[in-house]
Amino acid sequence: MTTVELQTESTSNTICTYNEVAATKKNNENKTLSKPQKAQSKASKSTRHNLEWQNPKQINNIHEIKIRKEKASDAETLAAIRGKLTRKELAGDGLKHVRVHRHGLVSLICKDQKQKKDLIEKISSVHGIKIDNSEKRPKLRIPGVSREITDQQIIEDLADQNEENMNIIQEERKKTDNNEKPEEIIKLVKKYIRKTPERNNVIIETIPSIYRTVLKKGKVFVGCLRQFVDDFNAILLCYKCSRFGHKQIHCRSSQCCYICAEPHGGRDCKSSTTNCANCK
């Protein structure tokens, strides 16, 4: 039988028959034909999009107690409640976490509802300590609202011109047995002036059920016009050093432009390119 030398990628020269060479070529042709089909099947899988809407992830401390002492620092607020709470209740097997805020506000994160109830009873008897029971509501941004529409009209339109919001407000009134006004459920927080004439960006604060419904739909009716809506998370930015978490009046760092990241003010910037001061 006649033999030939066959050069392969993985091995050196080997001795093969003509039948073995023909079988090898046939296998290679089958592989090349099957590759586009596999690539097409992978592409079809990759082009499938999950269109199911998911709620934004939010941190919600349901067992949180916020306490405040007027005209006092956070250390003075904690010192005032130490007389009513034991070491075991403050640390170790007690509180899950203690978070300190500005202006004397302190958050006590409890492990369960029973612990929260017991601590509220003890803290409420401390002189000068106030328990903050206000609920932090989510915020939404409505860009491009006409400046001719008043704040009261915006709230009324959100409640009356949107059927889903109207149904939720009615359900909330039935739960509380109270005829709550729309401005108690939907609150206008702030307006931002846009460069576009006669338009404002409106920030509203509302209850979680309306927040989820509106954000899922993505649009609301205000002033008989359909407006886009998105989630709003306020991030504090310093316009002096371009860093986050503080304002310009409290900044001690050197000046850095928030447009080009160069050492000058943002209002004086003449650069045509943008650079991030936090990424360079």
Domain segments of the chain as ranges: 1-34, 64-132, 139-231, 235-280
Query: What is the predicted pLDDT for the residue at 20?
Result: 65
pLDDT digits (tens, 9 = 90+) for 1-25: 444 444 444 444 455 565 665 666 6
Average pLDDT over residues 121-125: 80
Is the pLDDT at 31 greater than 60? The verdict is: no
CATH architecture of 64-132: 2-Layer Sandwich (3.30)
228 — pLDDT class (breaks 50, 70, 90):
very high
Parallel/antiparallel/unpaired status of strands 199-206 and 186-193:
antiparallel
pLDDT digits (tens, 9 = 90+) for 158-175: 988 888 888 888 887 777
**Rg over CA atoms, the chain:** 32
- Cα separation, 42 vs 53, in Å, equals 24
Highest mean pLDDT range out of 52-56, 119-123, 134-138? Answer: 119-123
Give the residue, 181 or 142, on which the prediction is more confident.
142
In which residue are the tokens 């607020």 written?
A: 77
Q: Is the pTM of this model over 0.85?
A: no
Provide, rounded to the nearest whole percent, the portion of the chain with pLDDT above 90.
8
Helix axes 163-176, 151-160, angle to 10 degrees: 90
For 146, 148, 160, 216, 254, the CA distances from 225, given in Å and listed in that order, are: 10, 13, 13, 18, 46
Q: What is the pLDDT of residue 125?
A: 77
CA 180 to chain centre: 28
Structure tokens, 75: 């250390």
Domain 139-231 carries which CATH code? 3.30.70
Domains 64-132 and 139-231 share a fold: yes
Residue 86 has phi, psi (to 5 degrees) of -80, 170
Q: How many residues does the chain have?
A: 280
pLDDT of residue 45: 44
- Per-residue model confidence (pLDDT) at position 127: 77
Most confident of 30-34, 178-182, 197-201: 197-201
The count of other CB atoms within 10 Å of the CB of residue 214 is 24
pLDDT higher for 45 or 163? 163
Q: Are 3 and 17 in contact (CB under 8 A)?
A: yes
- Strand 139-146 and strand 199-206: the pairing is antiparallel
Q: What number is the average pLDDT over the span 76-98?
A: 70
CA distance 193 to 251: 25
Asked if 32 and 48 touch (Cβ cutoff 8 Å), the reply is no
